């Protein structure tokens, strides 16, 4: 079911957005060569506790997960691009790391992700991250009342295709509110002018994710970590945004 939030409710969602943004920023600063993925998860865990927030991940167990997630943060490295389950791994020079984090504050959820390269970066990885970020920006720009959901998807997909990338449609953006995942699904490619009409009060996570050379994926045995089928690297970025009568409000802005 698609729910529209009142202006008052959107204001009530701002603390969750600011908190999630602060955690994402802290994680990006902490990520460095020699840092263990479990250290990043522990940092997010401490910040949740200190803020009196609630993790959206630790008990999360959808049908595709082999077990409850058990961590508070997704850490996807190199050919892993989504839902990476943190494990005992120390980041290496040149690793492409994507972190995805969602939490609830006072009953409202926000969700955000970013990708960084630790140490010396391959220019191709930086270009992939830049493409994902430009696609996110384009999707947010299209998230306006009166447009259609397909306009967001088309804007994202157009940036990807211009960069020569293929787009996987199995996972994408989603509604956000009292829970982390709700309607509508927001694909990362689509046809302009099609789909749900966007109205003020709709709150969605827009999250482009792309792989260097494929749109095919595979799951790790943990049932969570999603990797490229051909071993190529991936980048993932995400913001929670609220549709208004004008420009969308980026609730998870890190500015």
Binding residues for a divalent metal cation: 100, 111, 174, 207, 238
Distance CA 182, CA 104 (A): 14
- Let me know: does 125 contact 77? Beta carbons within 8 Å: no
- Look up residue 124 and give its two tokens: 């191709």
Question: What are the φ and ψ backbone dihedral angles of 198, each rounded to 5 degrees?
Answer: -80, 135
Binding site feature residues: 83, 100, 111, 174, 181, 207, 238
**DSSP single-letter state for residue 177:** S
Cβ atoms within 10 Å of 255's Cβ, excluding its own = 4
CA distances (Å), origin 128, targets 116, 136, 156, 248: 10, 12, 14, 25
Closest residue by Cα to residue 97 from 183, 30, 180, 13: 30
3-state secondary structure at position 162: helix
- Look up residue 183 and give its two tokens: 């309607």
3-state secondary structure at position 26: helix
**DSSP single-letter state for residue 23:** H
Distance CA 92, CA 74 (A): 18
Binding site feature residues for substrate: 83, 181
């Amino acid at each position: 079911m698609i729910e529209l939030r009142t202006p008052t409710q959107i204001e009530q969602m701002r603390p969750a957005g600011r908190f999630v943004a602060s955690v994402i920023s802290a994680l990006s600063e902490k990520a460095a060569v020699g840092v263990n993925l479990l250290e990043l998860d522990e940092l997010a865990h401490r910040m949740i506790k200190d803020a009196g927030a609630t993790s959206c991940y630790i008990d999360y167990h959808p049908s595709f997960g082999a077990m409850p997630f058990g961590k508070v943060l997704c850490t996807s490295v190199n050919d892993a691009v989504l839902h990476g389950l943190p494990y005992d791994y120390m980041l290496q020079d040149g690793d492409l790391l994507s972190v995805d984090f969602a939490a609830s504050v006072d009953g409202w959820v926000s969700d955000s992700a970013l990708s960084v390269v630790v140490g010396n970066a391959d220019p191709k990885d930086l270009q992939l991250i830049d493409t994902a970020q430009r696609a996110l920006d384009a999707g947010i720009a299209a998230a306006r009342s009166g447009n259609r959901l397909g306009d967001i998807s088309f804007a994202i997909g157009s940036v990807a295709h211009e960069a020569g990338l293929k787009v996987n449609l199995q996972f994408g953006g989603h509604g956000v509110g009292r829970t982390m995942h709700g309607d509508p699904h927001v694909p990362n490619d689509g046809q302009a002018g099609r789909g749900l009409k966007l109205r003020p009060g709709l709150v969605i996570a827009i999250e482009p994710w792309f792989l260097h050379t494929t749109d095919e994926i595979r799951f790790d045995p943990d049932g969570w970590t999603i990797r490229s089928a051909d071993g190529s690297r991936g980048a993932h970025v995400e913001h929670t945004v609220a549709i208004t009568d004008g420009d969308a409000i980026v609730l998870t802005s890190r500015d």
